[in-house]
Amino acid sequence: MIAKHYKEMLNGKSVIRELFGYATERAKEIGEENVFNFSLGNPSVPVCDEFTKALIELLEKEDPIKLHGYSPTLGIPAVKKIVAKSLQKRYDLPYTEEEIFMTSGAAGAIAHAVRAVTCKGEEVLTFAPFFPEYAPYVNSTGGVLRIVPANTKTFQINFEKLEEMINLNTAAILVNSPNNPSGIVYSTDTIKKLTNILHRKAKEYGHDIYIISDEPYREIVFEGVDLPCISKHYDNTIVCYSFSKSLSLPGERIGYIAVNPNCKDAKLLIQMCGQISRGIGHNCPSSLMQYGVAKVIDKTSDVSVYEINCNILYEELVKLGFEVVKPDGTFYIFPKALEEDANLFSEKAKKYDLMLVPGDSFGCPGYFRIAYCVPTEKVKRSLKAFKKFVETEYPNR
């Protein structure tokens, strides 16, 4: 019989998708260049040339039977070795290929990580503001996602609420730093406080609590910001990485899980990922993409444009009177709306062809997200629209 549950999910509105749909229609009317579409987190810079060259060389020179052949369930060993070596060098942690599992992007990684460390009915905590897809990612495993309310002052962790919500049933903490949508990096101080709590609670409850660290924005960190390596602070850390943002390859679905080699069950968890794959139809990312990213493992696209865009927007938003925490990285900024209901605020912004995503679906009502992964000249042109929007709609502020 048709699965009711999935049928009913179709009734759920995605605000981002609707906004994107509206922007597409509007672009047909007034031209794409006149729509300030800040709705989607799609990288706006091309992949580095080295990647394209590497793929062409593989296609021209490699035996196609090997190049396109079955990858072992855990990933191509030679690729996993290169990933491990890169992580080892960068973080001074003893990674080997046995702690690496190649995945279809971060979504594939999280799908495996949550299943590996959560039994039915157990809880995964995450911190608002958070990526809305975490809800289906976790809830479809039989686990339960619970949201720790935001610390809107800094968008660091709200520890008071965390202490209230963590309990015997907590299996894992899902962390996303640099954060979508706030752009904030959790400081070393935050990570220390978090891992201290987890150590204490794990001892109290008599079972491990895992950190699942979703790190697609790891390579997009702005000047002067220090991005702490969570695995250095906490053994039971499962890193979920994607090359989508760092190499501008979101459509290629390529990433990996790296379990901290100091986690006592690291090798077991990776082996388990192979079993989890069988039930969800995962069977590895594309073999060509695995070979391709291995060739440029320490390279990124030219992501410097995102910091330029951020600075332009941040300055103007402050000037216009917005309350806003300056991002440490990513290509998002998450200011407070100028009225209580960010949905109404975003609706009004559409009149000025500004596509701004209200914060409700990120678990943080009253705020809104700007995805500034667009050309800098467009960010500059949008400033006038922001000014007009604010002065017309909120004249008495």
CB of 46 to a second copy, least distance (A): 4
Residue 37: strand pairing partners:
355
The nearer residue to a second copy, 238 or 325, going by C-beta atoms, is 238
Give the position of tokens 């049933």: 169
Q: CB of residue 271 vs a second copy: minimum separation in angstroms?
A: 6
Q: Which is nearer to a second copy, 268 or 308 (CB)?
A: 268
Smallest distance, a second copy to C-beta of residue 256, A: 13
Residue with smaller CB distance to a second copy, 247 or 337? 247
Residues 288, 13: Cα–Cα separation, whole Å:
35
Supply the minimum distance, in Å, between the C-beta of residue 21 and a second copy.
11
Q: 3-state secondary structure string, the chain?
A: CCCHHHHHHCCCCCHHHHHHHHHHHHHHHHCHHHCEECCCCCCCCCCCHHHHHHHHHHHHHCCHHHHCCCCCCCCCHHHHHHHHHHHHHHHCCCCCHHHEEEECHHHHHHHHHHHHHCCCCCEEEEECCCCCCHHHHHHCCCCEEEEECCCCCCCCCCHHHHHHHCCCCEEEEEECCCCCCCCCCCCHHHHHHHHHHHHHHHHHHCCCCEEEEECCCCCCECCCCCCCCHHHHCCCEEEEEECCCCCCCHHHCCEEEEECCCCCCHHHHHHHHHHHHHHHCCCCCCHHHHHHHHHCCCCCCCCHHHHHHHHHHHHHHHHCCCCCCCCCECCEECCECCCCCHHHHHHHHHCCCEECEEHHHHCCCCEEEEECCCCHHHHHHHHHHHHHHHHHHCCCC
Q: Based on CB atoms, which residue is closest to a second copy, 202 or 385?
A: 202
| Amino acid identity, position 155 | F
Cβ nearer to a second copy, comparing 122 with 360: 122
Please name which of 328, 263, 329 lies closest in space to residue 300, comparing C-alpha atoms. Answer: 329
For the bound state, the minimum distance from the C-beta of residue 272 to a second copy, rounded and expressed in Å, comes to: 4
181 cis-preceded (ω within 30 degrees of 0): yes
Select 115 or 233, whichever has its Cβ closest to a second copy. 115
**Alpha-carbon gap, residue 286 to 292, rounded angstroms:** 10
Give 151 or 242: the residue with its C-beta nearer to a second copy. Answer: 242
Q: Give me the residues paired with residue 239 across strands.
A: 213, 258
User: Please, which residue, 136 or 149, has the CB nearer to a second copy?
Assistant: 136
Q: In terms of CB distance, is 348 or 378 closer to a second copy? A: 378
- Closer to a second copy by Cβ: residue 45 or 385: 45
Q: In this structure, how many other beta carbons lie within 10 angstroms of the beta carbon of residue 298?
A: 9
* 288 token code pair: 């060509």
